[in-house]
Structure 1
Amino acid sequence: MGITIGVKVGSANSVAVVASEHSWENSLSVGTAGLVGSGDFLDRVGDPVPVLDDRGQSRPAAQIHAEAVAALLTRLELTDTVDHLTVVHPDTWTSQAVDEAHAALRARDDVPTGEISWIPESRATLAAVEHSEGAFGQGLVIGYDLGASALTVTVLATGDEPRVVSRPLRLDSVSGNEFDRLLLAHTLRVTGVDAELADPGRASSVLDDLTRLRTDCRGAKEALSVDTDAVVDVRVGEVSTVARLVRDDVEDLVRGPITESVALIREAIASAGADQPGGHPVPVTAIILGGGGASIPLVTEMLSATLRVPVLLDPQPGSASAAGAALLGMAALGARDSAATEPTAEIPGLVPAPSPGERPLREIEPAPSTPVTTPAPRLSRRRRGILITAGAAALVLVSATGLSVGTGLVGSTGEATPPPAGAVTTTVAATPGTPGRAATTVAGADAGGRTADAATGTGTR
């Protein structure tokens, strides 16, 4: 078995991941505009109206997409032969768009492979998550791809052959670009620069400064996915200052759009349930996050708390779809080799291909995660009986001791003035053998001792 490559061309970034039978070989992430001059052509693939590229030439969007794939492969500087190339396409592409993109890529002579396959982005992301979290059984999962230009929600049926079971839903108002715009406006407001930009003539003269500041705000947003604060240098015109941003700033800005996305998920679930045989709804077992925006901890927290299902994501969600595509390419090679060596097998495609044993080293910062405590092993019936008997004997002994001592174990019975809400109070614990021992409590604390992880604790399987 040889080398496979997974490629994803996005509106902001394009990613390629190289895998072999035993390990991840290489990875690369490049801005799409740095490859072909623009990233606004993805939604135009399959459209008969050509696109005006950065050179002023009119070309079909499928040709620009093929050029981006070829340029990304060239930058990998591979020396080994590529056996399979898997290209990730948006879930919203039609079959006609996929056919046009495939024909445009085949027409090029600088693509170093003979086999090319195309898969939806949600399917590729699912493969990456299953590689790190374990395979899913029969059921439904929600693909939640929060990319730079839009949010795409897709319902997939899991099992031996995962597939898309409903029409993908897209929401442009929830995207990485929209989050960047909100954070830029917030930075201008807290630094007072927005007042000087009220004049349209003044705003046009500092357009380059605003573009640079927008890029810096995007970097701060990505840093706040891991850190709790970030500093942005604000140099717009004659104004030169520094803005300190904390994670709460970003979360307050994006909370509204994320809440809006929950309605889109429920709509996708409803449509998927109606498509099932007999019209019986199938329960959703998990939400699979993908895209650069999936690294924001609030996304995992809100989706898990609102929809009450596990929320899972690859450690590097921005490049998860490309890694999953490489894994699926490896599985396709395994199926081909199995068919060649076992021609009498009834279903040769069911023979699983070996997956790389190491996690990929990809360039996107991993999202924070909280380790899950290993549950205690269940007790046997005999051991439970012994513990229950011992506990009952201890209870009888404590009761007898308390009766014999009398009021020596009880604190003061005088009436006490209740403390104000939120104050730290000291109560006398009635602990046998330690009269007057103080126990500090906080009013309003959770009696169960449970804590909620505000980052990614919920949803980890």
Structure 2
Amino acid sequence: MSVVSVATNGQRMSSVLGVSVGAGAVRVARPLAGNSARRGTVQPQAADAFDVQTVSVDDRRVEELAADAIGAILSADQRITATAIAFRDEQHARAIRAELARRQFTDYELVPDVAAALEFLEFSGELQGFSTVALYDLGASGLSVTVVDTGTRQVSYSERTSDISGDYLDSLIREQQIASGRIAHPPDAAGLAALDALCRTAKEQLSENSAVALPSTEGLVLLSQENFEALIMLAVESSARMARDVILRSEQPVQAVALIGGCAQIPLVARVLRRWLGVPVLVPANPETVATRGAAILARPVRQRPAPTPFTSAFENSLPPQHESVPPLLSSAGAEKFSRRREVSIAGVAVGALVVVAAIGVSLGWGPQVLEHDSQSSDAGTTSAVPTTTKPATETTTVVPTTTDATNESLAAPPPRRETTTTTEAPPPPGPNTITIIPGLPPVIVPTLPPLFPPPGG
């Protein structure tokens, strides 16, 4: 685990700690003694007054390295009372949180890396005079472009891609060096990783030199600025096209673009973005540590932490889920499905009851009358006359509603009772073939069957 310290100046550190967890490195930052790490208290020329340490990622998980670095610093300096860790997205935050929970670390806060970067850029005076900016963050694992309002902290639009990244640029250098014949292809994965690290170093040195020559066990890595820019031009232009599309989709008047991340130091990136976007392009000093230093500015002890900054548009998913007042099974969609299932169940019960009644009617000899009544009630006409027995001149008219309305009304409430004076004829006297099956119902007359064989002598 290699550690690189920046801007220590032999001074004592303060009591807050900022951390950024990247794919290629873990960085920690503490303001130097005398700086309160609050916006407006440090002049722009003193914005680099932070102690920054970089832990290079090896074959271990980056979350483990971050937890090790935080634990080592907290053990060495008991005065640190607040720690803020910048995260990229919710999946990233969950991985960090899980590793810290395993180590039983609790006194920390997670902040979006966009919020941390914006905080430092305003702290250092880089964004003075700009109300809406686009953050172009090109790091080892990918590119993120975010349009944000500097006053309200509102994110209008954000997009991320892994099609262009620092690792991808390193692979372009590696393949170009192997194709040139100066470098032999490594025989194993370890040799390939060592060659990638050498190409990464060459890329970083080209930000300050016109050419680099780095020896390796496989040969000499030789790269000039001109060859490097020709090699990555298509990828950089593709990233500029993406930044332009994000700005257009945000529908906001972006006034400047701020470059952060390790690859922001490549001079070609700033030149291409200026040409494509036509707005000022800001490149702060040490752009790879902007989020780390911003996290140190945002770090507060638990009792002093303000309400979280409302980065609602891009970081809604980063917040922990809140308890809803309505359980998921009784939400609007769930309640609607439950209501529909209940309606279907009630209709099924009604249909089943009708089937049972019809079956009893058929068994009692009412089949023709029931079927005839059903066929009449299902006709288009809605009026049927029910004659009475004693008063043929006066008829009771019953309005039969349509099928849907009748069903709904029958389920909603029973129809009002109407008193109708009717006179029923007395049932015929029971004969020898009359059988009463159910008391209270009309008797069933069994027909007389002819004998099977004629009487003798007939």
Bucket of the pairwise TM-score, normalised by the shorter protein: 0.5 to 0.7
Question: Matches of 1:268 and 1:249 in 2, distance apart?
Answer: 30
The equivalent of 1:142 in structure 2 is 134
Question: Matches of 2:50 and 2:183 in 1, distance apart?
Answer: 47
The equivalent of 1:251 in structure 2 is 229
Write out aligned runs for 1:195-234 (5 A). 205-234=187-216
Alignment CA distance shift 1:101-1:229 (3 Å): closer
Question: What SS does the corresponding residue of 1:284 show, helix, strand or coil?
Answer: coil
The equivalent of 1:16 in structure 2 is 28
Question: Matches of 2:120 and 2:223 in 1, distance apart?
Answer: 32
The equivalent of 1:108 in structure 2 is 103
The equivalent of 1:165 in structure 2 is 156
CA contact (8 A) 1:125 1:288 kept: no
TM-score, normalised via structure 1 length: 0.55
Question: Matches of 2:180 and 2:205 in 1, distance apart?
Answer: 19
Q: Percent identity?
A: 27
Give the residue type in structure 1 aligned to 2:67.
A
Query: Over residues 65-89 of structure 1, what are the superposed CA-to-partner deviations in whole Å (9 max), with x where a residue is unaligned?
Result: 3x43321113435324222111100
Deviation at 1:135, TM superposition (A): 4.5
Alignment CA distance shift 1:32-1:215 (3 Å): closer
Deviation at 1:106, TM superposition (A): 4.5
Question: Matches of 2:128 and 2:155 in 1, distance apart?
Answer: 15
User: Please, which runs of 5 or more residues in structure 1 have no aligned partner?
Assistant: 40-64, 198-202, 274-281, 340-346, 350-461
CA contact (8 A) 1:136 1:158 kept: no
- Does residue 126 of the first structure (1) align with residue 98 of the second (2)? no
Match of 1:336 among 286, 304, 320: 304
The equivalent of 2:81 in structure 1 is 83
Match of 1:315 among 253, 261, 285: 285
Query: Over residues 105-127 of structure 1, what are the superposed CA-to-partner deviations in whole Å (9 max), with x where a residue is unaligned?
Result: 35533x4x73x222221221222
Deviation at 1:138, TM superposition (A): 6.4
Give the residue type in structure 1 aligned to 2:223.
L
Please identify, of 291-300 and 205-214, the stretch whose mean Cα deviation from structure 2 is larger: 205-214
Question: Matches of 2:217 and 2:163 in 1, distance apart?
Answer: 28
Give the residue type in structure 2 aligned to 1:260.
S
Match of 2:67 among 70, 93, 104: 70
Question: Matches of 1:18 and 1:255 in 2, distance apart?
Answer: 36
Alignment CA distance shift 1:78-1:313 (3 Å): farther
Alignment CA distance shift 1:139-1:71 (3 Å): same
Give the residue type in structure 2 aligned to 1:73.
I
Query: Over residues 111-160 of structure 1, what are the superposed CA-to-partner deviations in whole Å (9 max), with x where a residue is unaligned?
Result: 4x73x22222122122222233344456321111111111111111111x
Alignment CA distance shift 1:78-1:287 (3 Å): farther
CA contact (8 A) 1:2 1:83 kept: no
The equivalent of 2:176 in structure 1 is 186
CA contact (8 A) 1:3 1:21 kept: no
Alignment CA distance shift 1:131-1:234 (3 Å): same
Deviation at 1:235, TM superposition (A): 3.2
Give the residue type in structure 2 aligned to 1:162.
R
Question: Matches of 1:123 and 1:21 in 2, distance apart?
Answer: 24
CA contact (8 A) 2:183 2:221 kept: no
Alignment CA distance shift 1:185-1:325 (3 Å): same
CA contact (8 A) 2:139 2:261 kept: yes
Aligned-residue RMSD, C-alpha: 3.0
Give the residue type in structure 2 aligned to 1:152.
S
The equivalent of 1:272 in structure 2 is 250
Deviation at 1:335, TM superposition (A): 9.9
CA contact (8 A) 2:32 2:51 kept: no
Question: Matches of 2:206 and 2:95 in 1, distance apart?
Answer: 39
Question: Matches of 1:171 and 1:25 in 2, distance apart?
Answer: 30
Give the residue type in structure 1 aligned to 2:131.
G
Give the residue type in structure 1 aligned to 2:180.
V
Question: Matches of 1:316 and 1:193 in 2, distance apart?
Answer: 31
Give the residue type in structure 2 aligned to 1:143.
L
The equivalent of 2:454 in structure 1 is none
Question: Matches of 2:203 and 2:230 in 1, distance apart?
Answer: 12
Please identify, of 172-181 and 135-144, the stretch whose mean Cα deviation from structure 2 is larger: 135-144
CA contact (8 A) 2:183 2:220 kept: no
Alignment CA distance shift 1:147-1:98 (3 Å): same
Alignment CA distance shift 1:134-1:299 (3 Å): closer
Deviation at 1:324, TM superposition (A): 0.9
Alignment CA distance shift 1:2-1:15 (3 Å): closer
Query: Over residues 383-431 of structure 1, what are the superposed CA-to-partner deviations in whole Å (9 max), with x where a residue is unaligned?
Result: xxxxxxxxxxxxxxxxxxxxxxxxxxxxxxxxxxxxxxxxxxxxxxxxx
Question: What SS does the corresponding residue of 1:165 show, helix, strand or coil?
Answer: strand
TM-score, normalised via structure 2 length: 0.56
Higher RCO (C-alpha 8 Å, min separation 6): 1
Query: Over residues 327-360 of structure 1, what are the superposed CA-to-partner deviations in whole Å (9 max), with x where a residue is unaligned?
Result: 122xx569939x9xxxxxxx9x9xxxxxxxxxxx
CA contact (8 A) 2:241 2:276 kept: no
Matched pairs, number: 282
Larger Rg: 2
Query: Over residues 357-398 of structure 1, what are the superposed CA-to-partner deviations in whole Å (9 max), with x where a residue is unaligned?
Result: xxxxxxxxxxxxxxxxxxxxxxxxxxxxxxxxxxxxxxxxxx
Alignment CA distance shift 1:188-1:30 (3 Å): same
Query: Over residues 158-197 of structure 1, what are the superposed CA-to-partner deviations in whole Å (9 max), with x where a residue is unaligned?
Result: 11x423222x312212111111000111111223556xx5
The equivalent of 1:297 in structure 2 is 267
Alignment CA distance shift 1:263-1:335 (3 Å): farther
Question: Matches of 2:193 and 2:97 in 1, distance apart?
Answer: 35
